[in-house]
Amino acid sequence: MTFGEYGGDSWDAASGVGATATMSAAVRAIATRADLIDDPFAEPLVRAVGIDHLTRLATGEVSHDDSVDRIWIDMAEVRADFYDGFFLDSTSAGITQAVILAAGLDSRAYRLPWPPGTVVYEVDQPQVIGFKTRTLVELGATPTADRRTAGADLRDDWPAALRIAGFDPARPTAWSAEGLLSYLPPEAQDHLLDTVTALSAPGSRVATESRPNPRPGDEAETRQGLRRISDRWRTQGFDTDMEKLRHFGERNEAGPYLRRLGWELDGATIRDLFTARGLQSLQDDTMRLGDLRYVSGVLGGSVA
Ligand code: SAM
């Protein structure tokens, strides 16, 4: 079963929706230089992709002030904290199998203190995953877990690739889907969450983002915001169309959908997380990012 097309059926970290992995890593590089997070691999990975403007932002060669709104840098901070904390809590609870869906240029498998024996699977498009593996080998980086990769399309039969890589559905798993769901067509999102649930032994955990359905007028504002970002980047030499990469329209909200599948979730909105840290950048929230909810929880409510 394959759902939808956006910019072709495969891509690398420089093209189509794959470039969003490089954008996210560029923002992490900026946040790392500002001592907000600690992702030492973000900058070298962005540099290796070779999108000039993103490289200049990641290395600090050009100021990010005219290119990246503060809200995205603050989001990188709360997002790193949320997902790092999710995996560390999961392993503290005894889970030794993790799956990072849409891993992009995420370096958790190389920088988190995974307990010995933890297996971390990364799933993304084959060219994105292959590029990251090669680049980190060239950089002399060593995974801090038993890292295994599954190059696959998440609209397609990715569980087959995961099984071939050694995934064991009988073991409780910690799953993350970070920065992914808006890039999937609605029915592919449902199918992905169904599949994650079907592959989850009792005590498995999940973390992702739950976006509320748009109020009238919201989508027009979001589209306009994405066009504004793309236009600005185009004038700065990076040709992308952020609006085209996203899927709009009604969809099941991930949090309530997962709850119906038996997951017991907690969550906090970006607004809550920013308030807790005293971050001010939501004052300029034209794209309604503040309502995005980070959710995580346990299948069946029992801890592994
Ligand atoms: N999770 C990473 C992070 O936070 O840095 C990457 C997020 S990036 C915004 C979105 C990622 O989703 C990209 O790496 C892209 O390749 C991946 N992705 C989107 N749709 C996908 C699909 N159908 N199959 C595989 N990967 C997909």
- Domain enclosing residue 139, as ranges: 76-299
Q: How many domains does the chain have?
A: 1
Give the count of beta carbons closer than 10 Å to the beta carbon of residue 215: 10
Q: Residue 44 falls within a domain, yes or no?
A: no
Q: What is the pLDDT of residue 66?
A: 84
The pTM of this model reads: 0.95
Q: What residues of the chain score a pLDDT lower than 70?
A: 1-8, 301-304
Whole-number Å distance, alpha carbon 215 to ligand 1 midpoint, is 26
| 111: its two tokens | 């920088």
Q: Residue 14 falls within a domain, yes or no?
A: no
Place of tokens 């900058």: 43
- Which CATH number is 240's domain given? 3.40.50.150
Q: Residue 294 falls within a domain, yes or no?
A: yes
The rounded distance, in Å, linking the Cα atoms of 104 and 18 is: 7
DSSP H or E stretch at residue 271: helix 270-277
Q: What is the pLDDT of residue 197?
A: 98
| 240: its two tokens | 């992308």
Q: What is the pLDDT of residue 81?
A: 97
- Residue 42: name the closest of 59, 67, 17, 56 by CA: 59
**Which atom of ligand 1 is closest in space to residue 21's alpha carbon?**
8
- Report the residue among 43, 49, 183, 245 best suited for mutation to probe ligand 1: largest number of ligand atoms under 8 A from its CB: 183
Q: How many residues does the chain have?
A: 304
Q: Residue 97 falls within a domain, yes or no?
A: yes
Q: What are phi and psi of 296, to 5 degrees?
A: -150, 155
Q: Residue 13 falls within a domain, yes or no?
A: no
Q: Residue 161 falls within a domain, yes or no?
A: yes
Residues with CB under 6 A from ligand 1: 17-18, 20-21, 24, 102-106, 124-125, 128, 153-155, 178-180, 183
146-151 sheet: strands from edge to edge: 146-151, 119-124, 97-101, 174-177, 205-210, 293-299, 263-269
Q: Residue 226 falls within a domain, yes or no?
A: yes
pLDDT tens digits, 218-263? 889 889 989 998 999 899 888 889 898 888 888 999 999 999 999 9
Q: Residue 114 falls within a domain, yes or no?
A: yes
Q: What is the pLDDT of residue 7?
A: 47
